[in-house]
Amino acid sequence: MKKILFALISLTLLVSCTSQKNSESFIGATSGRYLFNANEVLEIYFEENVMHAKWRGNNNIELLKVNDSSFYMKEINEKMVFVKAPKMHIELTPKSEHEGILYHFKKMSDDEKTPSEYFKAKEFDKALTAFLIIQKEDSLNTIIKENKFNSLGYDFVRKNDFDAAIEVFKINVALHPKSSNVFDSLGEAYLLKKDTVNAVSNFKKALAINSENRSAKRFLKKITEK
């Protein structure tokens, strides 16, 4: 506890002796969006040459300048270092709590989006590609959990936006092709859109994976009885 208190006091003293203004070249190089995690952005901007950030709904976070390349963000209790080479990125200053992990946040290109942003922009193919990349890098990432996509898909169903629901369920199928449930959900969305051909196809795929899928059986029976 004494070490932490001493570190905070030292940082406060250092910050108080450092001008919070930044050079135009530094502002130009560092302004922009950084990939904070696989589906979340930290945006850096400047007001009157002072660094600010937008993060998790807070659009006016002022970062404290420690030196020409290091800034303290109290919201995450971390000192961030802006590194130009090989490409501009942010690194968190190593500390015991990191357990030896080096945190590296790359700067995003102007046209780059997170998977969720691609989806909101209805760029579904790009969203799928981005989610598949996440799965390849970390198959246990909670962002790509089957139940999350299923819940999102049914949110659109409840809003009668069947096209969006279909796109969500198609992404879920691509991410979880061995799940009977994802094909059943996609089949239901097609059925609600009155596309019985694709509905039947997906219900049959659901049953091929799990012959006891009662929902798929029920929907198929409903279709054939018409």
Domain ranges of the chain: 2-106, 145-224
Model pLDDT for residues 57-98, shown as the tens digit of each residue: 999 999 999 999 999 999 999 999 999 999 999 999 998 889
CA distances from 122 to 165, 169, 183, 223 (A): 12, 14, 21, 30
| Largest separation between any pair of C-alpha atoms in the chain | 80
CA pair distance 47, 25, nearest whole angstrom: 15
Question: Does residue 12 carry a pLDDT above 60?
Answer: no
Region 153-163: mean pLDDT is 96
CA dihedral of residues 48, 25, 106, 100 (deg, nearest 10): -90
pLDDT computed for residue 10 by the predictor: 53
Cβ neighbour number for residue 77 with a 10 Å cutoff = 11
Helix (H, G, I), strand (E, B) or coil at 20: coil
CATH superfamily, domain 145-224, is Tetratricopeptide repeat domain (1.25.40.10)
Question: Does residue 159 carry a pLDDT above 70?
Answer: yes
pLDDT greater at residue 188 or residue 15: 188
CA pair distance 62, 15, nearest whole angstrom: 13
Model's pTM, two decimal places?
0.80
Model pLDDT for residues 92-130, shown as the tens digit of each residue: 999 888 988 999 999 999 999 999 999 899 899 999 999
pLDDT computed for residue 49 by the predictor: 94
CA atoms within 13 A on the CB side of 100: 0
Q: Which residues pair with 73 in a beta bridge?
A: 78
Comparing CA positions, the residue from 76, 118, 114, 78 lying closest to residue 94 is 78
